[in-house]
Copies of this chain bind each other. A is one copy, B any other.
Amino acid sequence: MINHPPDEQHIDAEMLKIEVNIDDSPGEWLGYVMEKLFDAGANDVYYTPIYMKKNRPAVLLQLLCSKARLEEMKQILITETTTLGIRYYPLTVFRMERQIRKVLTKWGEITVKEGVQNGEVIKSSPEYEDCRRIAEKYQIPLKDVYAEVWRKLD
């Protein structure tokens, strides 16, 4: 069974990358901010370790979002971090056409996200949350769940 969620078609979209250097917030706040940004619709959020003036180990927060979300993201960054400045620039995001497939394993169904090009499946990624749920439920190593899915994909 295969379906094409409309929002999963191949698109070459204009998006924004937003960046903030943070040297005056403790790390425990940053884990929280990451969640808030994802909940508000960021497509991705990640941290890079950086080194700033005055021997300060710091963190570069980067996020990707649609241009429509700039204000929302800004608002969260302004209220939840200590930064006084936010920078951003446009970039192009190419996303492979994807299709969702269900694979039946001995422990039940697992979703696999497939990347398609010219009608051919180029890659298949088992969904982490499905594999994790099964690994915990049946008390088996997570990597064995992945291995089982890969075999079924043959």
Contact = CB atoms under 8 A, between A and B. Distances in A.
Contacts of A128: 28, 54
Interface size class of A (residues with CB under 8 A): 35 or more
A29 B125 contact: no
B25 A48 contact: no
A51 B60 contact: no
B47 A48 contact: no
B87 A91 contact: yes
A38 B58 CA distance: 17
Given A53-B45, A60-B46, A29 B84 contact: no
Interface in A60-110: 60, 64, 74, 78-82, 84-96, 98
A53 B32 CA distance: 11
